[in-house]
Amino acid sequence: MNTAILIGFPLVAALLILFLKSEQAKKFALAFSLIELILSIYALSEFKINAEPQMMVNLAWIQTLGIHFKVAMDGISILLVLLTTVLVPLIILSSFSRDIKNPKYFYSLILFMQMALVGVFTAMDGFLFYIFWELALIPIWFICLLWGGENRARITFKFFVYTLFGSLLMLVGLIYLYLHTSGTHSFDIQALYSAGSSLSSPEQTWIFWTLFIAFAIKMPVFPFHTWQPDTYTNAPTQGTMLLSGIMLKMGTYGLIRWLLPMAPLGVQQWGHAAMILSIISILYASIIAIMQKDFKRLIAYSSIAHVGLISAGIFSLTVQGLQGGMIQMLAHGINVVGLFFVVDILFNRTQTQELSKFGGIRNVIPYFATMFMIVLLGSIALPLTNGFIGEFLLINGVYQYNAYMAGFAGLTVILGAVYMLRSYQKIMLGETNTLTSTFTDLNFNEKAVFVPIVLLIIVMGVYPKPILDIAEPAIKHIVELIHPAVIL
């Protein structure tokens, strides 16, 4: 098994779908994404738990410039690849009972996006990483543009320019590092690491900010978040799921893989600032989420809060913080897809997302209420759900960094409970009104999306050890690269 197959298969599938009939597109898309899932599970079975990148493919690509097609997976990569391959079938399945125009192109773009995402998580060459990074942007931009809500032209454009700005900054940073690699220059990740750590402190500061801004826009972290709520709200449900469930993780993954080891001095000098920004975004987004009237927007802001905590944990530069970040990336990906699916079901039945218009849905369909409750508990990090493990480790990591900051970061648990439980109360509990009394039951496809999500939430919450074990050697390796003296 090698990594290139995991990247290549979705691309082939995306092209194949273009030649199918429209009615067949979604079934084939689901089948292809399930095959990809099986391939990735097979890759996991071959994976050996150590810090080495495995299943490597290393081909000369642009030899003149020292650029290689080098993809491999270590513990961090394989978990995110699995997140992608688990979520994409669910995302495709979630669209089954919806009427989607031009389905061929829609599913083809989703699979194309999957290719780019797997590429981002496995690229071990700076140039290749950048290419995949940008490639992921094109399909999601088209998904938002072609299947989005009103105002989509303006909103998707803002989204595109914002992220492209970040990417170009990152590209300049990467080229700068590339030009400081020894000998005939190379984009190999190891060469970039050693070039980065050999730079002087002011130079590393520049590298730090170019990369950090790129990743901070993608996540997004305050004050680079202004594109996010509009884009999430306007995108079609599947687009929002892709954006929040997987694409957001490109940013946090970038922090771990590309930023921390590449500018260790820059991180030591400016990590504090990044930490403060992350904690501001936790508080700021949580407070705004409490004020939201629109449920989809509320979840969009909650996503900023969660990712803020992930980023704070990563900048604590401790093994616990990074481990928590890993777990929380997976947990948040699963939970947020569940939450956006709840929004989709609500909108599909009632044509509204406004919290105040709902009420008493639990009386009509208890199954839906239960599923929503479990996803919600995962999201507010109740013990024995997946969110708890992540947040606990993250806050633990931040505490080791600075106790006061951990105090502020910990507020996310309380604030998260406030806005989530409040929205549950408004949607599910209370009197059934005219709008919600006609709420139709979930169909088979919709139930089928919730089952794996709920299972994952509980299983990961009860027994997270395998995930922690897989990630641990790779994370320790990264932490050692930042401060060699600390061995934990």
Beta carbon of residue 249, minimum distance to other proteins (angstroms, whole number): 20
SS3 (DSSP) at 294? strand
Residue of 12, 38, 62, 462 that binds other proteins (CB under 8 A) = 62
Beta carbon of residue 153, minimum distance to other proteins (angstroms, whole number): 5
Q: What contacts 336, CB < 8 A, 6 or more positions away?
A: 241, 244, 245, 299, 303, 306, 379
Instruction: Check binding of 179 to other proteins (CB under 8 A).
Output: yes
Between 161 and 462, CB nearer to other proteins: 161
Cβ neighbours of 381 (radius 10 Å) = 26
Four-CA torsion 6, 10, 12, 13, nearest 10 degrees: 140
Residue of 64, 351, 356, 434 that binds other proteins (CB under 8 A) = 64
Instruction: Check binding of 22 to other proteins (CB under 8 A).
Output: no
Beta carbon of residue 189, minimum distance to other proteins (angstroms, whole number): 18
Residue of 32, 47, 178, 340 that binds other proteins (CB under 8 A) = 178
Our separate counts of H helices and E strands in the chain read 21, 2
Instruction: Check binding of 175 to other proteins (CB under 8 A).
Output: yes
* C-alpha to C-alpha distance for 68 and 119, rounded to whole angstroms: 13
- Contact string (CB under 8 A) for other proteins, positions 150-169, x = contact: ---x--xx--xx--xx--xx
DSSP letters for 138-169: HHHHHHHHHH--TTHHHHHHHHHHHHHHHHHH
Q: What are phi and psi of 67, to 5 degrees?
A: -110, 130
Instruction: Count residues binding other proteins (CB under 8 A).
Output: 28
**What does each C-alpha distance from 24 to 17, 27, 139, 372 come to in angstroms?**
9, 6, 21, 31
Residues in the chain: 488
Between 20 and 164, CB nearer to other proteins: 164
Between 164 and 458, CB nearer to other proteins: 164
**What does each C-alpha distance from 41 to 1, 54, 287 come to in angstroms?**
11, 15, 39
Residue of 172, 287, 364, 373 that binds other proteins (CB under 8 A) = 172
Beta carbon of residue 174, minimum distance to other proteins (angstroms, whole number): 10
For the segment 130-149, give every residue that binds other proteins (CB under 8 A).
130-131, 134-135, 138, 142, 145-146
Instruction: Check binding of 59 to other proteins (CB under 8 A).
Output: no
For the segment 277-336, give every residue that binds other proteins (CB under 8 A).
none
For the segment 338-377, give every residue that binds other proteins (CB under 8 A).
none
Q: Is the peptide bond before 223 cis (omega within 30 degrees of 0)?
A: yes
SS3 (DSSP) at 236? coil
* C-alpha to C-alpha distance for 309 and 97, rounded to whole angstroms: 34
Instruction: Check binding of 63 to other proteins (CB under 8 A).
Output: yes
Between 142 and 388, CB nearer to other proteins: 142
Between 62 and 291, CB nearer to other proteins: 62
Structure token pair of residue 391: 């947040």
Give the binding site for other proteins (CB under 8 A).
Answer: 61-65, 130-131, 134-135, 138, 142, 145-146, 153, 156-157, 160-161, 164-165, 168-169, 171-172, 175-176, 178-179
